[in-house]
Amino acid sequence: MAQVIDGKKWSSVSRQETAQTVELLKAKGVKPGLVVILLGEHPASMSYVRGKDKAATEAGIYSEVIHLPSSTTETALVQLIERLNHDDRFHGILVQLPLPEHINEQSVIAAIAPHKDVDGFHPVNVGALALGISGFVPCTPLGVMKLLEYEGIDVTGKHAVVIGRSNIVGKPMAQLLLSKSATVTICHSKTQNLSAFTRQADLLVAAIGKPCVIKADMIKPQSVVIDVGINRLDGKLCGDVDYASASEVAQFITPVPGGVGPMTIAMLLHNTVLAAQRMAGITTSEVLP
Ligand SMILES: Nc1nc(=O)c2c([nH]1)NC[C@@H]1CN(c3ccc(C(=O)N[C@@H](CCC(=O)O)C(=O)O)cc3)C=[N+]21
């Protein structure tokens, strides 16, 4: 039976570390601030945004949500972002994705000042990650790396197989694992004979977006299985991995819910505080708890 990686527990540990750093920053006169922009009334997006707002406030971060109609124009959204780029109350700006179809996501992301891009989606931060220099790392893959670190799982020399090639999860996930000296394979929807790859995986990261498609017979015994999928099946949340059967084969596994999702929010708070720290010119060693 696999060991369950408790994302809720580790997210709470991480958020407490962040809250301590916030206290130290406040003692130096810096109050970290996050603004989340949400367009439209999509129920899942509204629920995520509420979760972020609540977690930020609990960590002592000043948090605002700007909720706009889905009819908002790209020009108006970009103008708002440009104003927030110059608003000193906010160290982090997050535009909730996906955006309505009439808006070009890349144009909106490019309008965010890179030093406030706590999602790590701006081309400057994507480039920084590719080069291995300092920037902001996307919250979901960063949360996965943090879970591995907390659990004491070393990926050096291991074969990591990432399923999914999105800019938000798959690509940055592969970069991070590579930077930790894993041997990395990226699979995707056009991959032929997917299970031939997944069966070789010491670490399997599933970011597919289809419920329960990774079955036990696709998993290498005693491997680490990280499920990034958040799917809704008949009103119930489930991952990309068939958890019941996979947990019979793997050594470690993340559940859905309660796995990677909560860590994503914890890393957003972490990035926001990091942004505030950097903007104030405070080095990490000055605020380490
Ligand atoms: N600019 C932007 N940045 C994002 O980081 C971003 C985004 N847009 N758009 C949507 C996705 C999705 N996302 C999640 C965050 C937390 C949970 C989470 O906490 N999930 C809980 C369950 C929550 C529930 O019950 O619905 C769990 O897995 O246990 C899930 C998904 C961030 N995203």
Residue ranges covered by each domain of the chain: 26-122, 139-261
Q: Is 165 annotated as a binding residue?
A: yes
With cut-offs at 50, 70 and 90, classify the pLDDT of residue 288. low
Q: Answer yes or no: same fold for 26-122 and 139-261.
A: yes
Taking only the tens place, the pLDDT of each residue in 239-261 is 999 999 999 999 999 999 999 99
Does the annotation mark 240 as catalytic? no
Taking only the tens place, the pLDDT of each residue in 129-159 is 999 999 999 999 999 999 999 999 999 999 9
Residue 285: is its pLDDT beyond 80?
no
> 2 vs 46, 50, 146, 235, 262, CA distance in Å?
34, 32, 19, 26, 20
Q: Is 56 in the pocket of ligand 1 (CB under 6 A)?
A: no
ipTM of the complex: 0.97
Does the annotation mark 175 as catalytic? no
Q: Is 261 annotated as a binding residue?
A: no
CA of 27 to the centre of ligand 1 (A): 31
Q: What percent of the chain has pLDDT over 90?
A: 96
With cut-offs at 50, 70 and 90, classify the pLDDT of residue 235. confident
Sheet arrangement for strand 252-253: 3-4, 252-253, 224-227, 203-206, 159-163, 183-187
- Nearest CA, atom 20, ligand 1: 261
CATH number among 3.30.70.270, 2.20.25.160, 3.40.30.10, 3.40.50.720, domain 139-261:
3.40.50.720
Q: Is 278 annotated as a binding residue?
A: no
Taking only the tens place, the pLDDT of each residue in 267-281 is 999 999 999 999 999
Three-class HEC string of 201-239? CCEEEECCCCCCCECHHHCCCCCEEEECCCEEECCEEEC
- Give the pLDDT confidence score for residue 173 in this predicted structure: 98
Taking only the tens place, the pLDDT of each residue in 9-57 is 999 999 999 999 999 999 999 999 999 999 999 999 999 999 999 999 9
pTM: 0.97
Catalytic pick among 52, 158, 171, 220: 52
Ligand 1 pocket test: pick from 230, 268, 272 the residue with the most ligand atoms within 8 Å of its Cβ. 230
Taking only the tens place, the pLDDT of each residue in 162-207 is 999 999 999 999 999 999 999 999 999 999 999 999 999 999 999 9
Query: What's the CATH architecture for 26-122?
Result: 3-Layer(aba) Sandwich (3.40)
Separation of CA 103 from chain center: 23
- In the chain, how long is the greatest CA-to-CA distance? 56
Q: Is 257 in the pocket of ligand 1 (CB under 6 A)?
A: yes
Please report the atom of ligand 1 found closest to the CA of residue 121: 1
Return mean pLDDT, the chain.
97
Q: What would the mean pLDDT of 108-132 be, rounded to a whole number?
A: 98
With cut-offs at 50, 70 and 90, classify the pLDDT of residue 284. confident
Which of 60-64, 166-170, 284-288 is least confident?
284-288
Taking only the tens place, the pLDDT of each residue in 73-87 is 999 999 999 999 999
- Nearest CA, atom 25, ligand 1: 257
Question: How buried is residue 33: exposed, middle or buried, by Cβ count under 10 Å (0-12/13-18/19+)?
Answer: buried
- Give the pLDDT confidence score for residue 1 in this predicted structure: 92
Q: Is 40 annotated as a binding residue?
A: no
